[in-house]
Amino acid sequence: MEITKIKDWGLNIDTSKPIVVSGPCSAETEEQTVQSCLGVAKQGANILRAGIWKPRTRPGSFEGIGNKGLPWLKTASRLTGLPITVEVANARHVYEALKNQVDILWIGARTTVNPFSVQEIADALKGVDIPVMIKNPINPDLKLWMGAFERFEKVGITKMAAIHRGFASYHNTEYRNQPQWEIPIELRRQLDIEMVCDPSHICGKRETLLQVAQKAMDLNFEGLMIESHITPDEAWSDAAQQVTPEDFGSLLNDLVIRDSNTQNPAFNSQLDELRHHIDEIDQQIIQLIAKRMDIAREIGKNKKENNIAILQMSRWENVLDKRMKYALSNGLSSKFALQYLQEIHNESIRQQTAIMNETELEKV
């Protein structure tokens, strides 16, 4: 896919460091929008955001100020010299945003889930040269996220980036939206797309913003989108996760930005050596797992001949218990150990099922 990198979007901003998009969740009043934007600009933001049309979970919440908020953002842009971005969810939003010279559009998580909406927006942008940032869909579906990029690619949009804002889950957890970092990492591997992390919507609260933003920087994300409001506790939407421009500034200061690589030869040769070692260990692990599966298949054959079911719960509980203890005493995390053991067990069952049913392994 042909993708134009952020540094070539013609924005006139510093892209030698991670880009930082900030501003309030929603534009509420002219004063609040302009002051919040001036505040974050002073603290180091280089793109300004504000939600104009707000997709709320239930009716009755503040659903955005609408068109009249666009000139407020434009004023903030004029006063700071920074580009502005808004969320668009239908063709009418696109029309209004373009009329008001919005510099960058973004597609919200609740829109990315719906191919009809994405297509409508893409169609409205045919022949328009504007950057589009696409948030991940609410549900952890990599293909749906990729599909959105493909729809814009087909109408000729090449200036694209992804925004990782986490994935909804039914359970209340530490996060408002689970990061599931493996999904943005896989998107970037497949599309070679630049990645902006939105810690505000992942965390849902101020306290953990820094930790998530730091993780994104450690994973070499190209930017951050962080909601900031001049008086966050009084915000009309997402109050708990917004920070004052000053706190936003401190967060940026506290971030450690590491280089993605270096020219230092001593460091590089040591890194090469360690990676070589890891490559070898990975090969050995795969060989050992394959050996373990040979044995599982052998057991499967015996079970088949003796007409015994594949799963014996007491054996599995026993294995799990012993291996978990062993893994923990070897310094592995319980989360990893449990997932690993369950996956090994699933694969054993798959292998034995293939034997029992005399089917191909990939079809189990």
Judged by CB under 6 A, the stretch of 103-111, 256-264, 289-297, 330-338 that binds ligand PEP is: 103-111
State the nearest-atom distance from the C-beta of 30 to ligand PEP, in Å. Answer: 19
State which residue, 194 or 227, has the beta carbon closest to ligand PEP: 227
Residues that bind Mn ion (CB under 5 A): 25, 238
**Binding pattern for the stretch 180-219 against ligand PEP, x by CB under 6 A and - elsewhere:** ---------------------x------------------
Whose Cβ is closer to Mn ion: residue 23's or residue 249's? 23
What's the closest the beta carbon of residue 224 comes to ligand PEP, in angstroms?
A: 12
How far is 3 from 194, CA to CA, in rounded Å? 9
Q: Which span (59-67, 89-97, 104-112, 189-197) binds ligand PEP, by CB under 6 A? A: 104-112
Shortest reach from residue 161's CB to ligand PEP, in Å: 14
3-state secondary structure labels for all residues of the chain: CCCECHHHCCCCCCCCCCEEEEECCECCCHHHHHHHHHHHHHCCCCEEECECCCCCCCCCCCCCCCHHHHHHHHHHHHHHCCCEEEECCCHHHHHHHHHCCCCEEEECHHHHCCHHHHHHHHHHCCCCCCCEEEECCCCCCHHHHHHHHHHHHHCCCCEEEEEECCECCCCCCCCCCECCCHHHHHHHHHHCCCEEECHHHHHCCHHHHHHHHHHHHHCCCCEEEEEECCCHHHCCCCHHHCECHHHHHHHHHHCCCCCCCCCCHHHHHHHHHHHHHHHHHHHHHHHHHHHHHHHHHHHHHHHHHCCCCCCCHHHHHHHHHHHHHHHHHCCCCHHHHHHHHHHHHHHHHHHHHHHHHCCCHHHC
From the list 7-15, 105-113, 184-192, 246-254, the region that binds ligand PEP by CB under 6 A is 105-113
Q: Is residue 45 close enough to count as binding ligand PEP by CB under 6 A?
A: no
If the CB atoms of residues 135 and 188 are measured against ligand PEP, the closer one turns out to be: 135
Per CB under 6 A, contacts with ligand PEP among 8-37 are: 25
> Total residues at the site for ligand PEP (CB under 6 A)?
9
* Binds ligand PEP by CB under 6 A, chosen from 23, 52, 103, 135: 135
Closest CB to ligand PEP among residues 106, 351: 106
Residue 93 found at the interface with ligand PEP (CB under 6 A) = no
Site for ligand PEP in 107-126 (CB under 6 A): 108-110
The binder of 188, among Mn ion, ligand PEP, none, by C-beta within 5 to 8 A per type, is none
**Residues at the contact surface with ligand PEP, assessed by CB under 6 A:** 25, 51, 55, 108-110, 135, 165, 201
